[in-house]
Every structure is written in structure tokens, then in C-alpha cells.
């Protein structure tokens, strides 16, 4: 699969490196060419680099990691995302008035705002509840823990692809239905980050949604 990574911060780098190592054709796009090159070097010799527009044009699937900035403000041609599956992994920013805590999630969610800005794209929110430190762990270490990745989209195929990509990283994708459910997932994200930042549980804290239904006898 051809995957474009828009932004090479912690999430873009961690997910792009993981998918590249899983065998996908990944292009890292950044404003700073050195950051894109560093991410590609950590991924695989086949990983590509370029501008944000290059990554948008390259991927059949595009990871959008730039928080609060719409493609129409960021890209020369937001039409490059038309028809593509665009994964939004963003969540709310730190609260400058309360160190260690975060601003309330926006309503509509960042993923819904993204879908409104590029209506021809198939937007899915996913990976927003998984810290980048967790994403950097090898799949063999993650798989037994069944860490959840919640996928929300108005396009079932986009949810399916996001869930498949999560599985390749050793994570357990969960179909959460329509994109509006991203607002519920944003609350889960803040719950996890509260445990990390305020209760001091550490950067590897995350969540697994598992059934307690007894096994049939």
C-alpha cells in the first residue's frame, strides 16, 4: 500500500516507521526536509521523503497529523486528497493555564472538520488514543496486550483499512461507526492523557477494550 505521511512529529514518525517496516511504500512529508529525511532513515531504505504536498499526492492512504490546520490552509492543492482514505490521528492541545492537562476537544472533532474541508476524501479518525511511545514498540510486544485503536468514519472501507493497518502494528482495531463518534473517542483520549500527565502513570499508558463475557463451556 502507498501511504503518505503529512507531518513528521511524534505520531507521523512512529506510524510511518511502523508501516514502512511492515512492508508498505511510505513517503514522509514535512515542511523541514531534514525532519522528513530523519524519519525515512529510521524507517527503511525504501522510504521516501518530500514536501507535505508530495506526501498528499503520493499516498492511496494519507496520515494527517497536523492539528487544527485544514488541508486548504496547508496544501497547495487539497484536491490531492480527493478519493483517498485520510487518517486523522489528532487530539486536543495542551492547556497553557494548567500544566499537564489539555484543552477540551473541539466540537466538531478535528476529524469532522477535516472531512468538511475535503469532502471528497474518505476521512477516518484512528490512533488518537495510542501514545507515540506505545506505537514505537515492536508488534510482537504489542500484540498480546490487545491495545485498542478506535476507528470512526462515514466510509466503512476507510474504517476497515485503518483497522488492518492497526493490526499490522500489533494493535487491535475496533470499528466505532460513523465519524461523529470521534467525539466520544476524544473523551477516551483525554481520560488516558489524564492518567499519564496528572496521575503519573507514564507514557506507555493506553487502553484495551475487551469483553468480559464468559467463554462458552
Q: Is the pLDDT of residue 217 over 80?
A: no
pTM of the full structure: 0.95
Q: Is the pLDDT of residue 99 over 80?
A: no
Helix (H) or strand (E) holding 25: strand 25-29
The CATH fold of domain 2-197: Rossmann fold (3.40.50)
Domain boundaries, given as residue ranges, for the chain: 2-197
Over the stretch 102-145, which tens digit does the pLDDT of each residue have? 888 999 999 999 999 999 999 999 999 999 999 999 999 999 99
- Close Cβ partners of 179 (under 8 Å, ≥ 6 residues apart): 109, 111, 112, 115, 123, 124, 125, 152, 153, 154
* Cα–Cα distance, 149 to 146 (Å, whole number): 9
Q: What is the pLDDT of residue 140?
A: 97
Asked which of 97-101, 107-111, 112-116, 178-182 is least confident by mean pLDDT, the reply is: 97-101
Q: Give the C-alpha distances (Å, rounded to integers) separating 167 from 67, 161, 173, 201, 211.
A: 24, 10, 7, 25, 18
- Closest by Cα among 149, 145, 154 to 181: 154
Amino acid at each position: 500500500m502507498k501511504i503518505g505521511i503529512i507531518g513528521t512529529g511524534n505520531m507521523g514518525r512512529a506510524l510511518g516507521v511502523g508501516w514502512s517496516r511492515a512492508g508498505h511504500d511510505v513517503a514522509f512529508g514535512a515542511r523541514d526536509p531534514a525532519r522528513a529525511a530523519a524519519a525515512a532513515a529510521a524507517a527503511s531504505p525504501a522510504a521516501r521523503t518530500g514536501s507535505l504536498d508530495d506526501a498528499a499526492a503520493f499516498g492511496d492512504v494519507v496520515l494527517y497529523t497536523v492539528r487544527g490546520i485544514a488541508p486548504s490552509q496547508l496544501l497547495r492543492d487539497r484536491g490531492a486528497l480527493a478519493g483517498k482514505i485520510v487518517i486523522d490521528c489528532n487530539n486536543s492541545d495542551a492547556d497553557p493555564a494548567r500544566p499537564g492537562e489539555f484543552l477540551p476537544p473541539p466540537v466538531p472533532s478535528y476529524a469532522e472538520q477535516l472531512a468538511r474541508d475535503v469532502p471528497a476524501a474518505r476521512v477516518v479518525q484512528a490512533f488518537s488514543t495510542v501514545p507515540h511511545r506505545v506505537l514505537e514498540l515492536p508488534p510482537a510486544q504489542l500484540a498480546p496486550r490487545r491495545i485498542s485503536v478506535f476507528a470512526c468514519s462515514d466510509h466503512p472501507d476507510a474504517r476497515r483499512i485503518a483497522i488492518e493497518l492497526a493490526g499490522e502494528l500489533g494493535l487491535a482495531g475496533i470499528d466505532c461507526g460513523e465519524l461523529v463518534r470521534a467525539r466520544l473517542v476524544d473523551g477516551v483520549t483525554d481520560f488516558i492523557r489524564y492518567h499519564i500527565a496528572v496521575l503519573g502513570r507514564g507514557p506507555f499508558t493506553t487502553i484495551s477494550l475487551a469483553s468480559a463475557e464468559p467463554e462458552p463451556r
